[in-house]
Amino acid sequence: MENGQARTLRLVCPHDCPDTCSMLVTVENGRATKLRGDPDHPFTRGFLCQKVSRYLDRVYHAERLRYPLERVGPKGAGQFRRIT
């Protein structure tokens, strides 16, 4: 948001589980800063599974891949190049 105020959005989990969990996500300056289960969701009542509870840690991790890569060296050597 332009004014830097935080806002909370009600979203659904990106995973395709039968629960279709509802989440409350706090966004500040265009970046998600807090993620929690929606206590008003009738099935999960505020619970987030282990896969989703640390979602922001993975999305904003410094070593997260941001581009597709192709392996150019032997398997296990860790040699890659960026591709389109």
Q: Where are the domains of the chain?
A: 1-61
pTM for the whole structure: 0.70
Q: Looking at the domain covering 1-61, what would its CATH class be?
A: alpha beta
Q: Could you list the pLDDT tens digit for every one of the 84 residues in the chain?
A: 456 789 999 998 888 887 778 899 999 999 999 999 999 988 888 888 888 888 899 889 998 888 999 999 999 999 999 998
Report how far apart, in Å, the C-alpha atoms of 24 and of each of 17, 18, 50, 69, 84 are: 18, 19, 16, 33, 34
